[in-house]
Chain A
């Protein structure tokens, strides 16, 4: 059997360093836990929200403001869904797929993270200039989202997400 007849198998040549992959997953899990807590509080009337409710730091004022929903969907729930998706994308299987059979997944991960950062811009603006209060839990989610974006940007820079990995067939034929 010649090299040309060998089955096409993608090789994991564009995987970013292990540190990026692990830290991205850890951040996703932190975001998942915080967003999950905020979602729980949203649906239980925020009666047990562990946060100051007076002064500049006022979680309740933020989480019950008109900016706590987008098109009728709670922002906390959107955050939870975002981190569920990002956790899947940043899992070891997600990284393996994006480095192998589904290189498009790398772009989806990066774009989704970018959308997360744009959401952070909007929510920080709303807190500072419309609600006049800061929610510490929300800020924690914002920090995680921006940090995750930074890690994914550097992960993309240290790997090649724009080109599919070489196949064994092509590698064989060129040798």
Chain B
């Protein structure tokens, strides 16, 4: 091997060594970057958990301090307004302690349609319980839009019972008219709560007349519902404590599970309310009014 050949060989080896060193350096650099990226990801998630553990931005305890109603999530509203007929049939009379009571009074109508008058308030825990069944039952006769969600007073009995709000909602039906009033929010003001909806003079007259003896056993109570002058409800049809600690989403999800205590109370109440609604609409729609669940609830309703 000549001198020139040895020199070229040495140069080739040096170049290969330099290339190898460069490859190793690039590899180390890439691994460093990869490690850094993964560490940053872990730190971000760890940071969120640490902030939560430290109580930063926690909403715990603030739930009861929020007032008024907020729009009900679309998926939750869908679960409330479309409880499967099979579930309602399975629940039947359910597990309710009250319900609509038959009365003898002039027919109540809104134009050409029979009218349901609801008077409640967002602070009221009994209204909180009753709204669920009202919404489920009315949805068998029409379509709700703009339902809200709220909770009852944080300082009353059954504090912060999760519920819906009819304030600002609309109900479209070919069978009947629904006129709801939420008289106050759940926000304390003075010795009561901040006013919300004001009854018209005519509806105030109806409220005063029929939310009293002999139509109801405890006059002046809310919730009060007048079903076209044929039935009335005064008070809750089941214990609001059943809903304690739940979210609206949890309650809505439970409505489709016939074996859940929540479904037995709310769906059972909805079937009883449906009996009253069917009495207003001439038993229409027949698929609803002749359903097994409604028939079972009708057998359990008393008269006043």
List A residues at the B interface (Cβ < 8 Å).
45-47, 53-54, 60-61, 64-66, 68-69, 72, 117, 120-121, 124-125, 128-130, 132, 142, 146, 149-150, 153-154, 156-158
Contacts and interface: CB of A to CB of B under 8 A. Distances in A.
A135 to B, nearest CB: 12
Interface stretch (B8-16, B27-35, B96-104): B27-35
A135 B41 CA distance: 20
A65 to B, nearest CB: 6
B30 A128 contact: no
Interface residues of B, number: 32
Nearest to A55: B245
A132 B33 CA distance: 34
A60 B256 contact: no
B253 A47 contact: yes
Contacts of B58: 129, 132
A167 B122 CA distance: 73
B57 interface: yes
Contacts of B27: 157-158
Nearest to B32: A157
Interface in B22-77: 27, 30-31, 33-34, 37-38, 41-42, 44-45, 48-49, 51-52, 57-60, 73-76
B249 interface: yes
A61 B79 CA distance: 14
Contact of B257 (A47, A69, A156, A158): A47
Contact of B33 (A65, A68, A157): A157
A156 B30 CA distance: 8
A69 B59 contact: no
Nearest to B255: A45
Given A47-B257, A61-B249, A72-B74, A120 B45 contact: yes
Nearest to B31: A157
Nearest to A64: B249
Contacts of B38: 149-150, 153-154
B149 to A, nearest CB: 10
A73 B301 CA distance: 42
B69 to A, nearest CB: 14
Contact of B250 (A61, A150, A156, A158): A61
7 contacts: A53-B250, A69-B75, A125-B48, A128-B48, A129-B59, A132-B59, A153-B37
A63 B45 CA distance: 20
Interface of B: 27, 30-31, 33-34, 37-38, 41-42, 44-45, 48-49, 51-52, 57-60, 73-76, 79, 245, 247, 249-250, 252-253, 256-257
B27 to A, nearest CB: 8
Contacts of A124: 45, 48-49
A128 B45 contact: no
Nearest to A54: B245
A39 to B, nearest CB: 14
B57 A117 contact: no
Contacts of A153: 34, 37-38
A78 to B, nearest CB: 14
A46 B60 contact: no
Contacts of A69: 73-75
A154 B31 contact: yes
B256 A146 contact: no
Contacts of A46: 253
A157 B52 contact: no
Contacts of B256: 45, 47
A61 B249 CA distance: 7
B273 to A, nearest CB: 22
Given A61-B250, A65-B247, A130-B59, 17 more contacts: A45-B257, A46-B253, A60-B253, A61-B249, A64-B250, A120-B45, A121-B44, A121-B45, A124-B45, A124-B49, A125-B48, A129-B51, A129-B57, A154-B34, A154-B38, A157-B33, A158-B31
